[in-house]
Structure 1
Amino acid sequence: MYTLYGYPKTRSVRVAWALEELGLPFDYKLVDLKQGQHLSDEYKAISPAAKVPALATPEGTLTESAAIVTFLAERHGMHEFIPEPSSFARAKYEEMMLFLTSELEQPIWNMAKHTFALPKEHRLEKMREVAAWEFNRALLVFSSMLADKEFVCGNMFTMADVIAGHILAWAKGSKLNLSLNGKAENVAAYAQRVLGREAYERAWRNEMAHLSE
């Protein structure tokens, strides 16, 4: 049994989504960020970076969402959700994962940091404008990488789509234009396709339900 430490509208929904796609049972532990529970010594013993998500497994704890979903697919995917190890398709999966987390996601995270995450004295108003420009540039690259494929790795839905889908949902929530006024229509259509999956809906609803408990 896995235990997911998370909070709604954060990267923890990626792990919840992956678990739902795989049909794996898991316990959910709410880490109330607004109450500062992530800064407690108890939680830092689980996640030294004091961030969510964290996934407790029988073998230890994992804390990076891209690593977690990849581990889950390798352990439980049964030749689904991730290409075969050492294949060229697997290399393209890894390439996409690295691009998503280092290029496409970072501008949105910078926007968040300079809007609410950083202490006020360290926020730069201009950074939000710069980050939006960086995101648009990365989105054009993603549009080219996606091309006319159904999913980022071709015809198979993989954990890279979980990461990509969440990043695009985050971008929409940040009022960024996914179609880039017609320059990336394939991205907007892709986002609608993957974010319409039942597993994503279940993961999102389950996290939100824990706020009212």
Structure 2
Amino acid sequence: MKIYGHVNSRSTRALWAAEEVGASYEYESIDLMGGAARREPYISINPGGKVPALVEGELVLTESAAICNYLANRFPEASLLPKEGSKERALVDRWSYFAMTEMDAPLWTLTKHKMIYPEGKRVPAIIDVAIGEFARSVQLLEKGLGAQEFIVGSRFSVADLLLGHCLSWAKAFQVPIDSDIVMAYAKRLWARPALVRARAREMA
């Protein structure tokens, strides 16, 4: 198994999941800033020119959430996904999709208009809109968490991983997380040994 990524990007999710399940994998860093993702040999692996990508045998998988789900299913003993068809699984799926559509999306919009797009294509006003959308998502996450340790009860899942990464992304870009409950939850996730190992692997 090989995972391609870049430090402090969505590929952290893939490495975090791999570390949580105890997968044996090779990591290859892709120089995004130098354009390596948009030329050979990587562009043949992910025609979108983005990270992460996972290659295992004939399987070539892109999209960070899909990779996390694959790893959770590939190593069921790690219990990152509840049983298919269970109420708990439905809730994990719900919050995973929430992370990608309601938290990741505004953060990606903000990132593009702050540093990805050329100056002439950036729309400064959209940054405040994206911050407002993220703030609304934090409020909804707070309601969903309540007094629970994790988003679906007492067991860490793929949904927590995706939510935790989005919250880390917000912190890195100084996007407010105005909720003591959500911040306490985020700190629990950020302290997980698997994430610490994943970040160390990226930096190495």
Which TM bucket (shorter chain)?
over 0.9
1:111 matched residue in structure 2? 110
1:131 matched residue in structure 2? 130
| 1:5 CA displacement | 0.4
SS at match of 1:73: helix
SS at match of 1:29: strand
Sequence identity of aligned pairs in percent?
A: 37
TM-score by length of 1: 0.93
CA distance in structure 2 between the partners assigned to 1:79 and 1:208 by the alignment: 25
1:161 matched residue in structure 2? 160
Cα-to-partner distance string for 1:79-125 (whole Å, 9 max, x where unaligned): 61111001111111111111110011111111100011122221111
CA distance in structure 1 between the partners assigned to 2:132 and 2:156 by the alignment: 29
CA distance in structure 1 between the partners assigned to 2:137 and 2:189 by the alignment: 19
Moved over 4 A (4+): none
Rate the CA distance shift 1:32–1:79 in 2: closer, same or farther, 3 A: closer
Whether contact under 8 Å (2:95, 2:159) holds in the other structure is yes
1:32 matched residue in structure 2? 31
CA distance in structure 2 between the partners assigned to 1:187 and 1:172 by the alignment: 12
Cα-to-partner distance string for 1:8-38 (whole Å, 9 max, x where unaligned): 0001011101111111111011110111001
Whether contact under 8 Å (2:6, 2:202) holds in the other structure is yes
1:190 and 2:146 aligned:
no
Structure 2: give runs of 5+ residues left out of the alignment: none
2:183 maps to a residue whose letter is A
TM-score by length of 2: 0.97
Structure 1: give runs of 5+ residues left out of the alignment: none
Q: How many residues align?
A: 204
RMSD of the TM alignment (CA)? 1.1
1:50 and 2:58 aligned:
no
Cα-to-partner distance string for 1:133-185 (whole Å, 9 max, x where unaligned): 1110111011111111111111111111111111100000111222x1xxx21
Cα-to-partner distance string for 1:47-94 (whole Å, 9 max, x where unaligned): 111100000112411111111111111110226111100111111111
